[in-house]
Chain A
Amino acid sequence: MSSNKVIHAIYNDDDVLMDAVHKTRAAHHHIEEIFTPFPVHGLDKAMGLAPTRLAICAFIYGCIGLTVATTMMNYIMISDWPQDIGGKPSFSYIQNMPAFVPVMFEMTVFFAAHLMVITFYMRSKLWPFKQAENPDVRTTDDHFLMEVSVHDNEAELVKFFEGTGAVEVKVIDKH
């Protein structure tokens, strides 16, 4: 019934915000989301968010890039048409490998970087023409907003957040 209602507690200082996050977690209120104008160091730890696995993705993508480069050059330069180009030994991949290393390196970096960025966009649902989601325009400038869901305890929650140093506490009906 009232599960659509959320509290928006707004702060104007990241230290106060961090403090409020600790208090909210201690009081076992579930934080839905926090909006900040800039990265607040340690906020993810305070909220108890799981660490990102983006770096692991990047490593795997890099391995894929290396494989693509190796397979491509082995096929083109060694298997398909092993010409003598300026005396370079094209009898086996390993014999001519130093010449391939720059491409192998660049492809590894290219795949690791670009696929990781695309993964990031997909996982954080970012794309051109995407509808912006900020609940209060001030959160992109100088205010911090914590969103907490309400379960029949509206008055208690409002009182709680006013005690955490919030400059503004609003109850919003979310659709």
Chain B
Amino acid sequence: MYTFSSKLKTFSFVLMIVGILGIGYGFLTAPKDIHEVEAILKAEAESHHGGGHAAAPAHEAKAEPTTHEAHAEAATAATSEAHAEPTAHDSVAPATEAHAAAPIAQTQKAETAAHDTHDANASAGHDDHKAHAEHLLHQLQNKPWAALYVACLFFMLIALGALAFYAIQQVAQAGWSPVLFRVMQGITAYLLPGSIIFFILLLLSGFHFNHLFVWMADGVTDPKSANYDHLIAGKAGYLNFPFWIIRAAVFIFGWNLYRYLSRKNCLAQDEATDNSFYKKNFKMSAAFLVFFIVTESIMSWDWIMSVDPHWFSTLFGWYVFASFFVSGITTISMVTLYLKSKGYLENVNSSHIHDLSKFMFGISVFWTYLWFSQFMLIWYSNIPEEVTYFKTRIEDFNLPFFGAVAMNFIFPFLVLINTDFKRISWIIVMAGIVILFGHYVDFFNMIMPATVGDQWFIGIPEISSILFFFGLFIFVVFSALTKAPLVPKRNPFIEESKHFHY
């Protein structure tokens, strides 16, 4: 039996308390109304430009971030349009230069265009400014919510990824993994509290405590409203709050039901005289995997893709799955290494660790394959209604967007390709930490561009949310591990697993 070390328990409490304080700070410092945003805009304009357009050269010098500043500069809606549509440049300033001058020249042209329009519409400028400030207000108000949402979703999906891995091991009748079943069950114990908190967050979104989901806003489906959005109205048959929240409830219930029954049967099998509970678990796991893959796909549309309700991608479900599946496996590996280092898993040898590392390596590459397939297909065809998704990510989230590929692919690929390295604890822990951070950033990249846009930052609200859920995760997982012996007794494959050698 495992005993929860008091140090780890204290550590998890400290994480949770620090996390809660930081989350609270995030909510308190978010702007409450439009006036605060106006003040922010003013301060920004003064510090950045020292008084407007006169500072043009300074502007040109740092041509890259201009998207950003041009925005803050009380520019008209034309700015963003000129940025978004390449054709706009050509119509304003006929393309006499060679195309090769590319991005900088384009930005500057757009800049000029924006200013021209600005002068022309001086009177209309005021309204646009107001609209812009309101836009900014929503983004800044979303920041602590989105931070909480990403962290909550990420940790819940880690538990779900571990659950899917566990079910696959059961159905595949894997001979190596039964000694790790209790570790996996410990990790999936987080699914229940994690999904309850997540469900509450979904409800809060539905009751308009935040603006995470644009399609939930008032009037988007009403043709008479100023908020009317024809595209969203067309999807309202699927994207409406009651249907959406019922789906969420069904998915969360189904996953938790499997986790509960599977754990119960696994414990009952320990005391049984035959293999009936094992067989029950086998059948249930097979059924769960079917349920899982359908619900996982829909879940990814509902909870992640619908923050961008104008955008759609067919392999999105697989992509999300690969992301949290590899995180789940990495977590299994890291918890196993921790317990082993404390002397609790005597039957786990370096071959088990080696197998887990192979999965970490393989699924990392699988994630990359899907990431690239999604990106390249959209980049290649460059259809405006699809490509904006990546355009905002590359322009506003350049480092996290490509950094995620470095952390989730290049690093684990080069480190875990070596057979000997796959057995060395500190290397696996290092690779695991990078993979987990990389996949947090991956989820960050999925949610943030649509909710906070270019106002993103990994600051106190984001880090505190991670700390809070990390603390809760540690507490729940290691408490669950104390509840049952770490080695199943009567699993038909347990002897093979104890002597597994690769």
Contacts and interface: CB of A to CB of B under 8 A. Distances in A.
Nearest to A42: B501
Contact of B380 (A55, A91, A99): A99
Nearest to A95: B102
A101 B372 contact: yes
Interface string B91-113: 00000000110100000000000
Interface residues of B, number: 11
B167 to A, nearest CB: 30
Interface in B373-406: 375-376, 379-380, 382
Contacts of B375: 98
Contacts of A91: 100, 102
B380 A98 contact: yes
B102 A89 contact: yes
B417 interface: yes
A87 B372 CA distance: 20
Contacts of B376: 98-99, 101
A89 B372 CA distance: 18
Interface in A2-58: 55
A91 B100 CA distance: 6
Contacts of B379: 98
Contact of B417 (A59, A84, A87, A101): A59
Nearest to B414: A59
Nearest to B501: A42
A91 B419 CA distance: 40
A13 to B, nearest CB: 21
Contacts of A55: 419
B432 to A, nearest CB: 22
A77 to B, nearest CB: 14
Contacts of A59: 417
Contact of A84 (B99, B102, B382, B419): B99
Contact of A87 (B100, B382, B419): B382
A82 to B, nearest CB: 9
Interface string A81-122: 000100101010000001101000000000000000000000
Most B-side CB within 10 Å, residue of A87, A98, A99, A101: A98
Nearest to A89: B102
Contacts of B380: 98-99
A91 B98 CA distance: 11
B299 to A, nearest CB: 28
Interface of A: 55, 59, 84, 87, 89, 91, 98-99, 101
10 closest cross-chain pairs (CB), A and B: A98-B376, A98-B379, A91-B100, A91-B102, A99-B380, A101-B372, A98-B380, A101-B376, A98-B375, A59-B417
12 contacts: A55-B419, A59-B417, A87-B382, A91-B100, A91-B102, A98-B375, A98-B376, A98-B380, A99-B376, A99-B380, A101-B372, A101-B376
Given A87-B382, A89-B102, A91-B102, 4 more contacts: A84-B99, A98-B375, A98-B379, A98-B380
